[in-house]
């Protein structure tokens, strides 16, 4: 498997290197679907220029990345292209390794369940085989590296690529069972953009499942592990925040980074839901609706964690999708990260209801983004309503995609417990309904 992965890595790096040297690089770097006010490379360059002049990069309203990012590029700015390509390679290899280990665990649990006769006889066709699982890690790496969204983010030098690398390392550490590294990488991801905080739930559920700790509020072992993970996570986050203060000598970055993410002052169009809504919003309603919009990312964590407490990896996939849809400044790089997990759930395809329609809508929206932008900004024959309509459709398609996988996952689990061919009391075929 190492040889095909190496070929994919070489191909991915070659495509990126060729695009860096083409005339398209500058055009891609300006696309609002690919970069945001948070992740745009030109803003990082502006911040570096201010830093070199001895001025705080947060003194204006241009730079909104974290201090560690700007100090990282302070040393490697001449090798920025290599840095972003390396970030994509690290993400792909981390996902490949993590999924490979996860599949081994799934197969082992499945084997024990078969030996214990836990599955009804008529659902044996739903059992996953080693042959079909063998190429899944390679497919995941391919889906990430050769996804046009990922390529565009890398060529635009969007710092979203670095965020994805940190989340991929967090995922790998979690699957490997390393509590310390998992909490540290999650702290770094939270430090970068706040929203990965919601990944705490699936990580802790996974570790408790791995260590046979029951999710029971009356058990001391449950609270002891919760305290341990929270202590490492909060301790790591405090150290990173303190290090940022030490580098800058002020707390200005807190408002410029986290205040910017939460208050959404820059309404530059993007593929998210915030910009148009708040551009049309009466000012005295703004605070209330900011709270309503921002809480979406975290609101679904509790019900999803309750429903999927025995399936933390699928919960992590759901949370990544929710973050990419409901965050304040999303880009296509965020979408690419959770789409890379699609091959992991290839066994659910027989239960998906709208996958063809959703795939067509996502492809059509991706093609229409630049068209409607050109009609609005350059040709003047359209307005912001046209662009926001395609943005809204894109997000609705993502929601349908995620909910379809959620339905398919729950349906398969139900069949594994009660049988594939369900009958009503009168002998007719039963229909499952997701409630």
351 φ, ψ (degrees, to nearest 5): -105, -5
Note the pLDDT of residue 417. Answer: 81
Q: What is the pLDDT of residues 7-37, one digit of tens each?
A: 999 999 999 999 999 999 999 999 999 999 9
SS3 (DSSP) at 148: helix
- Higher-confidence residue of 72 and 2: namely 72
> Binning pLDDT at 50, 70 and 90, where does residue 221 land?
confident
CA 379 from centroid of its chain's CA atoms: 34
d(CA 364, CA 358): 10
Note the pLDDT of residue 435. Answer: 62
Domain extents in the chain:
2-418
Q: What is the DSSP string of 27-47?
A: HHHT-TTT--TTT-HHHHHHH
The answer on pLDDT for 114 being more than 90 is no
Decide: 345 and 405 in contact? Cβ < 8 Å.
yes
Residue with tokens 């307005």: 383
Decide: 92 and 141 in contact? Cβ < 8 Å.
yes
* Mean pLDDT of the 305-319 span: 94
Q: What is the pLDDT of residues 129-164, one digit of tens each?
A: 888 888 999 999 999 999 999 999 999 999 999 999
From the CB of residue 350, how many other CB atoms can be counted at a distance below 10 Å?
Answer: 11
Note the pLDDT of residue 338. Answer: 96
CA 218 from centroid of its chain's CA atoms: 33
* Mean pLDDT of the 337-360 span: 93
* Mean pLDDT of the 120-133 span: 80
For residue 358 the two structure tokens come to 């959703």
Note the pLDDT of residue 427. Answer: 63
Decide: 347 and 128 in contact? Cβ < 8 Å.
yes
Decide: 361 and 389 in contact? Cβ < 8 Å.
no
Q: Pick the range with the lowest mean pLDDT from 117-126, 159-168, 382-391.
A: 117-126
Note the pLDDT of residue 426. Answer: 63
The answer on pLDDT for 225 being more than 80 is yes
* Mean pLDDT of the 168-176 span: 96
Note the pLDDT of residue 421. Answer: 72
From the CB of residue 9, how many other CB atoms can be counted at a distance below 10 Å?
Answer: 18
Note the pLDDT of residue 189. Answer: 96
Contact residues for 185 (Cβ-Cβ < 8 A; gap 6+): 166, 167, 169, 170, 173
Note the pLDDT of residue 415. Answer: 84
């Amino acid at each position: 498997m190492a040889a095909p992965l190496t070929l994919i890595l070489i191909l991915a790096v070659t495509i990126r290197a060729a695009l860096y040297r083409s005339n398209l690089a500058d055009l891609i770097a300006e696309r609002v679907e690919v970069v945001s006010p948070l992740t745009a490379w030109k803003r990082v360059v502006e911040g570096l220029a201010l830093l070199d002049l001895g001025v705080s990069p947060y003194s204006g309203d241009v730079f909104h990345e974290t201090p560690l990012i700007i100090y990282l590029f302070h040393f490697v700015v001449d090798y920025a292209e290599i840095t972003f390509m390396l970030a994509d390679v690290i993400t792909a290899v981390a996902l490949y390794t993590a999924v490979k280990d996860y599949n081994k665990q799934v197969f082992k649990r499945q084997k024990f369940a078969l030996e214990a006769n836990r599955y009804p006889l008529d659902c044996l066709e739903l059992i996953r085989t080693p042959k079909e699982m063998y190429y899944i890690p390679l497919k995941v790496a391919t889906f990430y590296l050769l996804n046009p969204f990922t390529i565009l983010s890398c060529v635009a030098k969007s710092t979203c690529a670095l965020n994805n690398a940190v989340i991929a390392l967090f995922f790998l550490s979690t699957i490997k069972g390393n509590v310390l590294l998992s909490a540290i990488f999650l702290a770094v991801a939270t430090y970068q953009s706040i929203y990965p905080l919601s990944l705490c739930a699936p990580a802790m559920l996974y570790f408790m499942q791995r260590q046979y700790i029951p999710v029971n509020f009356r058990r001391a072992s449950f609270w002891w592990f919760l305290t341990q993970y929270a202590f490492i996570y909060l301790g790591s986050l405090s150290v990173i925040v303190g290090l940022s203060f030490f580098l800058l000598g002020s707390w200005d970055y807190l408002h410029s980074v986290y205040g910017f993410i939460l208050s959404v002052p820059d309404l530059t169009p993007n593929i998210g839901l915030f910009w148009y809504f708040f551009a049309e919003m009466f000012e005295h309603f703004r605070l209330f609706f900011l709270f309503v919009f921002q809480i979406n990312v975290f609101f679904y964590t509790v019900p999803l964690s309750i429903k999927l407490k025995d399936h933390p990896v699928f919960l992590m996939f759901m949370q990544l999708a929710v973050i990419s849809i409901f965050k304040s400044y999303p880009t296509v790089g965020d979408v690419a990260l959770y789409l890379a997990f699609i091959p992991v759930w290839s066994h659910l395809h027989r239960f998906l209801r709208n996958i063809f329609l959703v795939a067509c809508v996502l492809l059509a929206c991706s093609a229409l983004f630049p068209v409607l932008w050109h009609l609005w900004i350059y040709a003047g024959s359209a307005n912001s309503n046209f662009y926001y309509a395609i943005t809204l459709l894109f997000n609705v398609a993502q929601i349908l995609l995620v909910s379809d996988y959620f339905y398919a996952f729950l349906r398969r689990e139900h069949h594994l417990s009660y049988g594939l061919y369900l009958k009503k009391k009168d002998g007719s075929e039963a229909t499952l309904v997701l409630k």
